[in-house]
């Protein structure tokens, strides 16, 4: 009989962590279902994902609690509480249908923990996958609430059967006594079957720099936009978030700034193929950026493109060691001085280094580790 798995995540289809795990487990013979929080945003993306997963034999359960914007912290506390209650009710009713429940981040880890505490005969194994430590994130969450989240998260870590983190640098946030049951499943790319062509009118003479992802204040986008004064640069931005309006205005006023809006992942990869440098200069003043493990890094390795990162963001060590990009101080002067010296030949060399490094972080290798973790958990190892 197939082991039945429930994978749960807030906005499960915006990032790649849950979809790639769901498909890997399905291919390995598991009966897979998904529990997703529909926040009333990106409805088109959600519907397309549900339809696609249905074709692949993966059922999606969706919980809706009204429109819940991202990054509002305590302002969306009511919707978050409502969501947690609905997850608990779902598990109290259906939990014993599953052999393993894999909860990604605190939003799902907390209600799964509470459900097992309330109904102690829920027999499923509990995986707590901490892709991000939400209490360290850029949002208006009061310090007292952040401290409480940290304490409760550590209780969940102790209670669960297995902890997964995306990078070894996250061990710093895991109590030492829990390291033996903590394993790394990185944020590497599960390559799509095809890359959707999304041609851009790039300048062959200039250095084309791309930022894509969340358009939030901690991502160094303000510094990136200061590069508009340089004659040798074109800036490309894709994504959505709180800075979207500001970026749109910047693109209207400057000939070397292009805002592409929100792109599907295969379209993003098409743009990545066409540009010269991927921008990942995150602000190290934010705790979560000090232990960054961005998907973009692995996508750069897969496509074979160099990146530029900030000193003090953890990934700077890999970038410097493997010569796959540039490390800068988080300030306008250092960034401009570095970018002014860029040349196509050096960028290509670093891109080739990135491509050569990818096999060490490939999804095929990571997928085997994930399946092995599941098998060991089932067997009680």
Domain ranges of the chain: 4-187+362-379, 207-361
Nearest to 319 by CA among 354, 349, 288: 354
CA 309 to chain centre: 17
What is the CATH superfamily name and number for domain 4-187+362-379?
Answer: Glycogen Phosphorylase B; (3.40.50.2000)
Q: How far apart are CA 326 and CA 355, in angstroms?
A: 16
What residues contact residue 94 under an 8 Å CB cut-off, 6+ apart? none
Q: Are 109 and 153 a contacting pair, CB within 8 Å?
A: yes
**What pLDDT score was predicted for residue 71?**
63
Q: How far apart are CA 191 and CA 54, in angstroms?
A: 20
CA-to-CA dists, residue 171 to 60, 262, 311, angstroms:
32, 33, 20
Token pair for residue 26? 């399905």
DSSP state, 260? -
Task: Using CB atoms within 10 Å of the CB of residue 379, give its burial: 0 to 12 exposed, 13 to 18 middle, 19+ buried.
Answer: exposed
**What pLDDT score was predicted for residue 61?**
96
φ and ψ of 213, to 5 deg? 125, -150
- Per-residue burial over 68-90, b if 16 or more Cβ lie within 10 Å, else e, is bebbebeebeebbebbbebbbeb
> Do the first three CATH levels of 4-187+362-379 and 207-361 match, i.e. the same topology?
yes
Q: Which CATH class is domain 207-361?
A: alpha beta
Q: How far apart are CA 38 and CA 62, in angstroms?
A: 6
Q: Are 103 and 127 a contacting pair, CB within 8 Å?
A: yes
**What pLDDT score was predicted for residue 290?**
87
**What pLDDT score was predicted for residue 75?**
67
Q: Are 180 and 304 a contacting pair, CB within 8 Å?
A: no
**What does the chain come to in residues?**
381
**What pLDDT score was predicted for residue 76?**
74
DSSP state, 2? P
CA-to-CA dists, residue 350 to 70, 303, 322, 354, angstroms:
35, 12, 9, 6
Nearest to 79 by CA among 10, 140, 156: 10
> What is the number of alpha carbons within 13 Å of residue 193 lying toward its C-beta?
1
Q: What is the pTM of this model?
A: 0.87
Token pair for residue 36? 């997703």
pLDDT tens, N- to C-terminus, the chain (381 residues): 689 999 999 877 777 889 999 999 999 999 999 999 888 777 777 888 899 999 999 999 999 888 777 666 666 778 889 999 999 999 999 999 999 999 999 999 999 999 999 999 999 999 999 987 665 555 556 677 778 888 999 999 999 999 999 999 889 889 999 999 999 999 998 888 788 899 999 989 999 999 999 898 999 999 999 999 999 999 999 998 889 999 999 999 999 999 999 898 889 999 999 999 999 999 999 888 888 889 999 999 999 999 999 999 989 999 999 999 999 999 999 999 999 999 999 999 999 999 999 999 999 999 999 999 999 999 876
**What pLDDT score was predicted for residue 66?**
81
Q: How far apart are CA 49 and CA 52, in angstroms?
A: 5
**What pLDDT score was predicted for residue 72?**
65
Q: Please tell me whether residue 183 adopts helix, strand or coil conformation.
A: strand
């Amino acid at each position: 009989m197939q082991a039945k798995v429930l994978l749960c995540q807030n906005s499960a289809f915006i990032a790649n962590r849950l979809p790639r795990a769901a498909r890997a487990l399905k291919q390995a013979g598991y009966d897979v279902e998904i529990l997703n929080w529909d926040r009333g945003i990106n409805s088109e993306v959600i519907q397309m994902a549900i339809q696609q997963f249905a074709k692949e034999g993966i059922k999606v359960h969706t919980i809706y609690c009204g429109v819940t914007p991202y990054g509002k912290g305590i302002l969306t506390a009511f919707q978050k509480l409502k969501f947690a209650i609905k997850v608990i009710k779902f598990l109290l009713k259906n939990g014993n249908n599953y052999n393993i429940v894999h909860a990604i981040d605190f939003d799902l880890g907390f209600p799964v923990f509470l459900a097992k505490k309330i109904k102690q005969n829920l027999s499923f194994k509990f995986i707590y996958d901490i892709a991000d430590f939400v209490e360290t994130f850029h949002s208006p969450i009061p310090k007292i609430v952040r401290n409480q989240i940290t304490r409760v998260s550590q209780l969940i870590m102790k209670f669960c059967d297995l902890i997964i983190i995306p990078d070894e640098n996250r061990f710093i946030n895991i109590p030492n006594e829990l390291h033996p049951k903590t394993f790394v499943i990185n944020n590497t790319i599960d390559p799509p079957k095809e890359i959707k062509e999304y041609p851009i009118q790039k300048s062959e003479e200039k250095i084309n720099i791309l930022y894509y992802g969340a358009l939030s204040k901690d991502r160094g986008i303000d510094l990136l936009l200061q590069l508009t004064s340089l004659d040798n640069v074109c800036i490309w931005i894709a994504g959505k978030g709180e800075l979207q309006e500001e970026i749109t205005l910047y693109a209207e006023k400057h000939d070397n700034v292009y805002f592409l809006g929100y792109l599907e992942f295969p379209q993003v990869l098409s743009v990545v193929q066409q540009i010269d440098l991927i921008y990942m200069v995150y602000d190290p003043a934010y705790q979560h950026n000090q232990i960054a493990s961005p998907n973009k890094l692995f996508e750069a390795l897969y496509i074979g493109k160099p990146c530029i990162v900030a000193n003090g963001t953890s990934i700077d060590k890999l970038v410097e060691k493997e010569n796959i990009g540039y490390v800068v101080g988080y300030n306008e002067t250092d960034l401009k001085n570095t970018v002014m010296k860029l040349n196509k030949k050096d960028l290509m060399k670093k891109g080739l280094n990135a491509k050569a490094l990818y096999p060490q972080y490939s999804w095929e290798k990571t997928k085997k580790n994930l399946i092995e973790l599941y098998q060991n958990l089932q067997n009680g190892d």
